[in-house]
Structure 1
Amino acid sequence: MSPNSSPRPARLRPIFGYIAVVGMLPYLVLKLFWIAGVEIGVTEPGVMTTALMRGANSFTAFMEFVAIVVVLALTHGWGMRFPAWLIVFPMWVGTGLLAPIVVSAPAIGTDFLAAGSANGALAPWVTPVVYASFFWQGVALLTAFVLHARVRWTHVFDTRPSARGVGPIGVTGAVLAFVVAVGEFRDTFGEERLAMVVIGIVQSLAALAAVSGAVLLSVRGRHWLTTVLLWTGSSTLFASNFWAAFGMAAMGADSSDTLSWLMVAAGCLAGLLLAFTFLSRVATGSRERQDSRDDHTATSARSLPHAL
């Protein structure tokens, strides 16, 4: 193939990026209106003008701006020049926030159709628009990231993590993840809305997926499965519990509710520990693969004179 002939998927990636941004705009525009004091979609005047809500809306609007930059970087050639961490960390957090919503979308839609929005401060159309935007950007970001990663980090997908066990850090993360999974599942019994029940179950399963991924790190199993389980599981553990802690702090949750605070802290820590374990094993596996190639090259070079 000539240098000037690019594959069809590569030519379509920028278009896909712009389509993804279009799906993110409704949520971002809504946030910008609220920050500016224009209470569109708000049924209780003054709700969005408090310092707390302005701060919360500014934070989430910033996150949306980051998501737009990331999806454009993932779908354009200039994104290949971004430092890896500027892509990987936002995508890891974004996966944890959006993947449960994408998976739970049927239940969320059913819940809205049956009961409507339970938030009396917002017009009935606001919550469906927000979650539709979340679903759109979740699918778009995850798809764009996979396509980008397959091109940029092919060696990571082709390299099996080092099968040397997960070590004390990984074991600690897996134990905490299991405890959080049990807690998430237990909490679903106190929810009345279908969407919250399903999201809770999905988050519980994600924590168990992270535990399973940690187990697979110790064996020479399928690398792609280990990657999916640990990436999705660890990101969901961290992001969902970080967001829960942010919400608890913003809403002035009872500081004496020690168990709830311990659970969200355990979830955040478990996600970080398991992500670190996975990345360190992938790095070790890459070094082992390179060393094996170097040894093979050296052996071939030594045997060449005899062959001649």
Structure 2
Amino acid sequence: MQTTDPTTPPVPHPTRTHPRSVLLRRRLAWAAVLACSPYLVLKLLWVVGIDVGVVHPDELNRAQWAAANALTFGMDAIAAAIAYTLTRPRETRIRAWLITLPLWVASGLLVVIMLAVPLSLLGAAVGDAGNPFAGDDFLRPWVYAIVYGGFIVEGAVLIGAFGLYVRERWGALLRTRVRALPDPAGTRDAQRFLGTAAAVLLGVAGVLRMTWALGSELGMSGRWIADRNATGRWMDGVQGGLALIGAVGLIVLVYRVGGARVRGPLAMAWFGAGSAFGWGGWMGLISAGAAPDSTLAERTSALLHLVYTAEMITGVLALTIGWFFLTECAHSFVANPTAHPDRTDRTAQREPIIQGRPAEHTVAGTASGRGARPGGSVVESPAG
């Protein structure tokens, strides 16, 4: 029987992972892999020159068309690869940032579609114009159904699988009260400065998008006004709402406001900043690279360029704050677990089960510096 040195801080109990939760996470991740398949097949066909679903293929610029589809194929292929990683039984051996960074961007992009498309369909059902599945003079209706429908399913199961993964890996941090968050390296003032700047930028971008969603033409170009439809307003409304929610989440986290669990404001900041960075970055880059006489360039006003820039800067600031936040919490929770009584839950009083193995072996492995990856550490840094 092993004895414990009383001068050594006690090793924290790992997050309790039930086998059913692991099984559900793996099934959802496999569903996400399958949900990516229709979009990937369609994009691959377009890259190789098979123009299925395109209304006027003879009007395409072949080089730009192939490059754009290769890029979006690669983006969704990364999402599929991450989803496959989440199906693996020992995915916690992978560096955290290799999963969290691409999924932060992917979830930000997908959550907007998951919310805006059903709202657009609902609006079309009650008489509003702008059915996103109606098709246009560029693509057939069934293409939009496959793309948007696939994204909605992909987003739901991928975010669900990732949520279970996060609970398995960082459950103790998620259950911590916001007011009890540590500041072992003394960077709280820097986090507050960066968080305030990010929240202000998110708030301004969110308010502008909400005004556009409500019908304002502030800062719009003539082409943008002419092409405006209900689907575009729903997109602006969802992006604006998420930006405002993300701003609130950031302020709560960096100023340690209230006694809520970390998981709530962290999710708000995650989706708010992620959607701003994903959509602002994507649209900002393609509009900046568009030809001056193109439709996209004519639709993009100077104010919209500023919004895209603000959203991209917000994402960089949020990434910086998140790195500080997770790294410091990882060090604090593992080095001094008794300093955070709010992190525990009722299952901490029982012997937890991790991946079907008794916890004593995992804890022993953590204490000796071995076996920490499968779940022995309570909170891991982004680099871990």
Fold equivalence (TM over 0.5): yes
SS at match of 1:211: helix
Residue matched to 2:259: 221
- How far 1:295 moved relative to its partner? 7.5
Give distance in 2, aligned partners of 1:288 and 1:13: 28
Normalising by structure 1, what TM-score?
A: 0.84
Residue matched to 1:90: 102
Contact preservation (8 Å) 1:210, 1:274: no
- What do residues 78-103 of structure 1 show as CA deviations (whole Å, max 9, x unaligned)? 42222111101110000110011112
Amino acid paired to 2:259 = G
SS at match of 1:39: coil
- How far 1:112 moved relative to its partner? 6.7
Contact preservation (8 Å) 1:177, 1:271: no
Contact preservation (8 Å) 2:207, 2:244: no
- Which of 105, 111, 121 is equivalent to 2:138? 121
Give the direction of change, closer, same or farther, for the CA distance of 1:128–1:251 in structure 2 (3 Å limit). farther
- What do residues 274-300 of structure 1 show as CA deviations (whole Å, max 9, x unaligned)? 23224423433444444544789xxxx
Q: Quick check: 1:147 aligned with 2:164?
A: yes
Give distance in 2, aligned partners of 1:112 and 1:8: 40
Q: Quick check: 1:244 aligned with 2:254?
A: no
Residue matched to 2:196: 171
Contact preservation (8 Å) 2:273, 2:314: yes
Residue matched to 1:60: 72
Report 1:1-308 matches (<5 A). Answer: 7-48=19-60, 50-110=62-122, 115=131, 116-159=133-176, 160=178, 161-162=181-182, 164=188, 166-188=191-213, 189=215, 192-217=228-253, 218=255, 219-222=257-260, 223-252=262-291, 253=297, 257-290=301-334, 292-293=336-337
Unmatched segments (≥5 aa) in structure 2: 1-17, 218-224, 292-296, 341-384
- What do residues 67-126 of structure 1 show as CA deviations (whole Å, max 9, x unaligned)? 111011112214222211110111000011001111223223346766453531211211
Give distance in 1, aligned partners of 2:138 and 2:123: 18
Give distance in 2, aligned partners of 1:187 and 1:57: 29
Contact preservation (8 Å) 2:32, 2:154: yes
Give distance in 2, aligned partners of 1:48 and 1:234: 34
Q: After alignment, is 108-117 or 166-175 more displaced?
A: 108-117
- How far 1:156 moved relative to its partner? 3.0
Contact preservation (8 Å) 2:47, 2:69: yes
Q: After alignment, is 55-64 or 15-24 more displaced?
A: 15-24
Give the direction of change, closer, same or farther, for the CA distance of 1:282–1:9 in structure 2 (3 Å limit). closer
Amino acid paired to 1:241 = G
Contact preservation (8 Å) 1:170, 1:273: yes
Give the direction of change, closer, same or farther, for the CA distance of 1:106–1:257 in structure 2 (3 Å limit). closer
Give the direction of change, closer, same or farther, for the CA distance of 1:265–1:295 in structure 2 (3 Å limit). closer
Contact preservation (8 Å) 2:36, 2:76: yes
Give distance in 1, aligned partners of 2:339 and 2:113: 47
Contact preservation (8 Å) 2:105, 2:274: yes
Q: Relative contact order, CA 8 A, sep 6+: which one is greater?
A: 2
Contact preservation (8 Å) 1:48, 1:54: no
Number of positions where the alignment pairs a residue of Structure 1 with one of Structure 2: 291
Please identify which structure carries the higher helix content.
Answer: 1
Give distance in 1, aligned partners of 2:98 and 2:305: 29
- How far 1:172 moved relative to its partner? 1.3
SS at match of 1:90: helix
